[in-house]
Structure 1
Amino acid sequence: MFTHVMIGSNDLARSRRFYDATFAALGGGPGKTDERGRLIYAHDGGRLMITTPIDGKPATAANGGTIGIAAASPDQVRAWHAAGTAHGGTAIESPPTERPNGSVVAYLRDPDGNKLTARTRATR
């Protein structure tokens, strides 16, 4: 259904440090920069793109929005959370936890305030 998710950033270098670290924790590679200077992360069939807003106004986080990122294991969720908090992210809600459906979930805000979650698939 989706081709990609695009979010805004006010500091692409800061975003690169954060997302390179969190995607490395999930087994992904560093971001690439396209001809417009946008960061592009491709991982497990999905694409996350990060850009400065084209209208020249400050980037703001979506109120009520969350970007979900697939993790292969509970250890990856914990590594993602640790990498994110070590690279400018803010832990929100609770530390990585197992949900009633068996999935392991963690939440962070990136340095620009975008809400992210890494989670494993449900096991029950």
Structure 2
Amino acid sequence: MIGYVTLGVSDMDKAKTFYSELLHDLGAKVLLDMGRIAFIGESMSTPMLAVCIPFNEAPNHPGNGNMVAISVGSKEAVDAYYQKAIALGAVCDGQPGQRIEDQFYGAYVKDPDGNKLAFYVFG
């Protein structure tokens, strides 16, 4: 259903490096780089994350209530992706932990541009 999600950024090189390194273990890489926008994922036929300089060239602004959630497969992986994101320059927006009884385990960060990410596993 979802083809790609786009995040506005202020520095394309920094954003491509951050997301390529962060999502490398999930098989993601820069698939298409068009200068102002780059698509990161496993393949052009699976859901991707795009980073871009806003079309109107005004500063990017993270949305209040917007978030990209990335399924990573296990509680240990949630912890690892959270730590990796922090090491790559993200800031904590909610440490790893059980959220909804035994149904949801997640962690939250904001990327270097302030875009909110979640790493999670259900169950």
- TM-score, normalised to structure 2, is 0.86
Equivalent in the alignment of 2:98: 98
Q: Please state how far the C-alpha of 1:89 moved relative to its aligned partner.
A: 0.3
Going from structure 1 to structure 2, the CA distance change for 1:43 and 1:76 (only over 3 Å counts) comes to: farther
Map 1:47-58 onto structure 2 (within 5 A): 47-58=48-59
- 1:21–1:84 Cα contact (<8 Å) kept: no
Q: Secondary structure at the match of 1:6?
A: strand
Q: How many residues align?
A: 120
Q: Please state how far the C-alpha of 1:37 moved relative to its aligned partner.
A: 4.2
Runs of 4+ in 1 over 3 A off after TM superposition: none
- 2:29–2:42 Cα contact (<8 Å) kept: no
Equivalent in the alignment of 1:4: 4
Equivalent in the alignment of 1:35: 34
Q: Which structure is richer in relative contact order (CA contacts within 8 A, separation 6 or more)?
A: 1
Q: Please state how far the C-alpha of 1:51 moved relative to its aligned partner.
A: 0.6
Q: Distance in 2 between matches of 1:87 and 1:32?
A: 21
Structure 1 spans left out of the alignment, 5+ residues: none
- 1:110–1:116 Cα contact (<8 Å) kept: yes
- 2:41–2:47 Cα contact (<8 Å) kept: yes
- Identical aligned pairs, as a percentage? 25
Map 1:16-95 onto structure 2 (within 5 A): 16-24=16-24, 26-43=25-42, 45-93=46-94, 95=95
Structure 2 spans left out of the alignment, 5+ residues: none
Q: Please state how far the C-alpha of 1:42 moved relative to its aligned partner.
A: 1.6
CA-to-partner distance for each residue in 1:54-82, whole Å, 9 max, x for gaps?
11111110111111111111121111111
Structure with more strand by fraction: 2
- 1:22–1:81 Cα contact (<8 Å) kept: no
AA in 2 matched with 1:107: Y
